Structure 1
Amino acid sequence: MTQIHSEMAVKHVQTLADGNPCILAGDFNIKPVDPMYTLLTTGAMEKDAATDVGPAYPVPKWGMEWEPTIQPMISAYAQALGKEPAFTNHARVHENEPFIDTLDYIFCSDQWKVDGVLELPAEQDESKGPFPNLEHNEASDHVLIAADLSLGS
């Protein structure tokens, strides 16, 4: 079901843009290895991913007929660096192991040119996390991401 929600968000933005350049950025709570990331960046689902609903989401009683119809979006960081950042989220809840992974993205339509991105901490550095870390003025469990974009010719 999260695949459908991801597709709906992109579809809504693309419909509103009506062929004009568009950007969708934020905390998507998906990792670069997740099927939803593949959906957003290719416009298609991996084989069997549309029916791989996981243990928390039972298959709907009447089945699930769905085909994504979005245009692929470009990840600004993947475009600029050749891969996603090592992490954009470094959190720890109580005594659990820290969660360190990429969850935040700047997705752009293909009309945009990525001129650069804000440099993020390297994985081994792990910055000053886990976040939030008020001693270092970090009020969020996410690092700031940013990109310089221009309209391509």
Structure 2
Amino acid sequence: MTVRVVTYNILVPILANRPEHYTKCQIEFLQTDYRWKLIQFQLEQEIIHHDNTIICIQELSLPLLPKLELFFRRLNYTFFHNLYEERHKDYMGVGIAIPVSMQLNSISIIKIGDHIRSICKLREKETRLLPEESNLHQDVKNKLTEPVADPWETAINRRNTLVCLQVMINNKSLYIGTYNMPCLYKEPDVMIIHSSIVKDLMFELSDGQDFILAGDFNIRPQDACYQALTKKDYSDIDLPQSNIYEISYKRNAAQILKSAYREKNGIEPVYTNFAHSPQSPNFCETLDYIFFNGHLSVTNVLELPDHPTGKSYPDETHPSDHLMIAATFQL
């Protein structure tokens, strides 16, 4: 028995409709209606041509949610989702769609920042100085040091949410999770915190059973976060310290993930994200993954291009700046 897992960052409309950001894209290809037709077609092909297809979506948005609900209902699917961002980001979120015929045993929706807060304890405040001493002390401190954001506080304040389902396929249990990592390249400590905690949470939720974790992780194969997720006892990375919280959490370096594309092809895709913007000219990197753990073997992966076409995605045939990726697993 096999299961097909598809993951796709479909790019929220409020970010797509920015010609000043996607400066090398034709405006008509940034329009939601045009992009939706392509997204719908790509997803439908995966559902039609494969058995037990599970769809993971990132950058789900309020404008596209009704369309996706109707699309999945038409194909006899149930869509579980969580919108967690604010209005100026189209209430961005994630979701998982499964066939209505697939047995569903449990649903977990975990806001990672809230989970981090639950395992952190505020440090006791330092002994208070007299008012005049305190003011003098603060003035000197302000002149000598620049304020630095505490990475744990930043990690707590992120809204990113993990959605995880437990399904039964041919009487075999499978946990399937999807996540969109905070895009904080300039704050790698925050990404280390989130990636480690999401990985360890999947092990905790699945409790020794097979699981798949798919999504946009905003990390490259050469990054330390990726190495920490996939290399056992990887030691070239440490969780950051906090000046605000006492941290009891320790990442489990012995629990690691396998990547479907690397297991099947011996290497990750050449790229899964391609876009040109003033801030990131000609950005072309692999950021999306289908990770897994347990007694699963990869029998097939969706073939991806070796190099991008055009000047930037979205374009005539690519409705998002991300590629859809997919893998078939033998249970």
Q: Contact 2:272 / 2:286 at 8 angstroms: preserved in 1?
A: yes
Q: Match of 1:6? A: 195
Of the three residues 278, 294, 298, the one matched with 1:114 is: 298
Indicate the percent of aligned positions where both proteins have the same amino acid.
36
* Corresponding letter in the other structure for 1:69: N
Q: Contact 2:214 / 2:290 at 8 angstroms: preserved in 1?
A: yes
Larger Rg: 2
Q: Contact 1:44 / 1:68 at 8 angstroms: preserved in 2?
A: no
Q: Contact 1:115 / 1:148 at 8 angstroms: preserved in 2?
A: yes
Mapped partners of 1:45, 1:129: distance in 2: 37
Q: Match of 2:314? A: 132
| Deviation for aligned residue 1:83 | 0.7
* 1:4-153 to 2 correspondences below 5 Å: 4-47=193-236, 49-50=237-238, 60-61=242-243, 67-69=250-252, 71-94=255-278, 96-123=280-307, 126-128=308-310, 130-133=312-315, 135-136=316-317, 138-151=318-331
**Structure richer in helix, relative to its length:** 2
TM-score (norm 1): 0.80
Question: SS at 2:277's partner residue?
Answer: coil
Gaps in structure 1 of 5+ consecutive residues: 54-58
TM-score (norm 2): 0.39
Gaps in structure 2 of 5+ consecutive residues: 1-188
Mapped partners of 2:295, 2:281: distance in 1: 41
Q: CA RMSD in A?
A: 2.2
Q: Contact 1:80 / 1:114 at 8 angstroms: preserved in 2?
A: yes
* Cα distance per residue 1:64-108 (max 9 Å; x no partner): 786421621110000001010100000111485210010000000
Question: SS at 2:262's partner residue?
Answer: helix
Number of aligned residues: 140
Mapped partners of 2:287, 2:299: distance in 1: 22
Question: SS at 1:15's partner residue?
Answer: helix
